[in-house]
């Protein structure tokens, strides 16, 4: 049961309308998603092919983004890295949400010792810096893709748990939840049918933020040499590999760094617009 009036269609249309800056952000995000999907077919060379006898070739007609520290085409590696970087961030974010959100809702609905135990476990995880947490896991087990995804999920699930729990606590005292509980509905039914529909918009907004965090987390591990390993291309690893070119005036390291920055900015533009509109709707009593 949603607390939004069923017949209030006009506010719904307003919530779906994006601002100009949000459209700019959405266009940037859509561009990189398209590159992640179709990049391997658009790339002029294979990501590991040595296409030049020279290193750090400048941007030109032959190599649109120049070459890297081994003479590989930067455009081809950037497009291949888009699939790896966005794919790992997307899966890591999904795992964090699938772990954190259901546990947060159930902790709020059940309460008691279940809520206390889960909350204290989450507090313990939140006390550890995320990058340090990832470094410990990867250093102990190894730089494998499943390990990276596990580290990202465990590092960022607590944040989504706390948000889902806080939102669910507010919904848990509503009259319609009390009515459902008096009818004898199960805890899981109440969480799924009564609470989730009313907190889904803030949760969706948090998904975007969580994706940015996981994206930078994965790229940070790769930059430190503990993330995606060669021959796979990853934007964070590409920055680290080409740092030596900066001292000679070559911009190879700036190419993946710019890609990361543009994607992060694009997501934040969309999130800021959605957050602002959600806040206005709540203040008007439309949500």
- Please, what is the Cα angle at 223 between 218 and 225, to 5 degrees? 95
Q: What is the pLDDT of residue 278?
A: 58
Q: What is the pLDDT of residue 85?
A: 92
Per-residue pLDDT of 123-180, as tens digits, reads 988 888 888 888 889 888 888 889 999 999 999 999 889 999 999 888 887 888 888 8
Per-residue pLDDT of 188-230, as tens digits, reads 888 878 888 888 888 887 888 889 999 999 999 989 888 888 7
Domain annotation covers residue 155: yes
Q: What is the pLDDT of residue 9?
A: 40
Domain annotation covers residue 62: yes
258 to 6, 144, 252, 263: CA distances (angstroms): 44, 26, 10, 9
Domain annotation covers residue 150: yes
Question: How many domains does the chain contain in total?
Answer: 1
Domain annotation covers residue 77: yes
Q: What is the mean pLDDT of residues 48-69?
A: 86
Q: Cis ω on the peptide bond leading into residue 231 (within 30° of 0)? A: yes
CATH number of the domain that 54 lies in? 1.10.3720.10
Q: What is the pLDDT of residue 174?
A: 83
Domain annotation covers residue 2: no
Q: What is the pLDDT of residue 13?
A: 41
Q: What CA–CA distance (Å, rounded) separates 162 from 267? A: 22
pLDDT-based confidence at residue 285 (cuts at 50, 70, 90): very low
Q: What CA–CA distance (Å, rounded) separates 251 from 164? A: 42
Residue 60 has pLDDT above 90, yes or no: no
Domain annotation covers residue 206: yes
pLDDT-based confidence at residue 1 (cuts at 50, 70, 90): low
Q: What is the mean pLDDT of residues 68-82?
A: 91
Q: What CA–CA distance (Å, rounded) separates 58 from 226? A: 29
Residue 33 has pLDDT above 60, yes or no: yes
Percentage with pLDDT > 70 across the chain: 90
pLDDT-based confidence at residue 277 (cuts at 50, 70, 90): low
The boundaries of the domain holding residue 239 are 44-283
Domain annotation covers residue 99: yes
Residue 31 has pLDDT above 80, yes or no: yes
Domain annotation covers residue 22: no
């Amino acid at each position: 049961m949603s607390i939004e009036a069923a017949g209030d269609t006009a506010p719904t249309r307003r919530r779906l309308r994006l601002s100009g800056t949000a459209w700019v952000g959405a266009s940037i995000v859509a561009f990189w998603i398209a590159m992640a999907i179709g990049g391997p077919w658009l790339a002029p060379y294979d990501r590991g092919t040595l296409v030049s006898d020279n290193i750090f070739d400048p941007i030109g007609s032959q190599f649109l983004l120049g070459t890297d520290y081994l003479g590989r085409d930067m455009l081809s590696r950037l497009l291949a890295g888009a699939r790896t970087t966005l794919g790992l961030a997307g899966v890591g974010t999904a795992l964090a949400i699938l772990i954190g959100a259901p546990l947060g809702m159930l902790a709020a609905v059940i309460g008691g010792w279940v809520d206390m135990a889960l909350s204290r476990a989450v507090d313990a995880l939140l006390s550890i810096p995320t990058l340090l947490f990832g470094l410990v896991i990867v250093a102990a087990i190894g730089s494998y893709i499943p390990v990276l995804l596990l580290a990202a999920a465990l590092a960022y699930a607590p944040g989504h748990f706390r948000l889902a729990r806080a939102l669910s606590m507010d919904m848990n005292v509503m009259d319609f939840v009390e009515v459902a509980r008096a009818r004898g509905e199960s805890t899981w039914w109440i969480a799924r049918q009564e609470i989730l529909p009313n907190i889904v918009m803030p949760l969706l907004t948090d998904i975007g933020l969580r994706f940015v965090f996981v994206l930078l987390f994965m790229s940070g591990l790769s930059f430190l040499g503990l993330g995606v390993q060669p021959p796979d291309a990853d934007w964070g690893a590409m920055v680290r590999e080409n740092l030596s070119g900066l001292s000679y005036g070559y911009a190879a390291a700036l190419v993946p760094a710019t890609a990361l920055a543009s994607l992060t900015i694009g997501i934040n533009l969309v999130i800021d617009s959605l957050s602002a509109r959600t806040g206005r709707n709540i203040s008007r009593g439309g949500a």
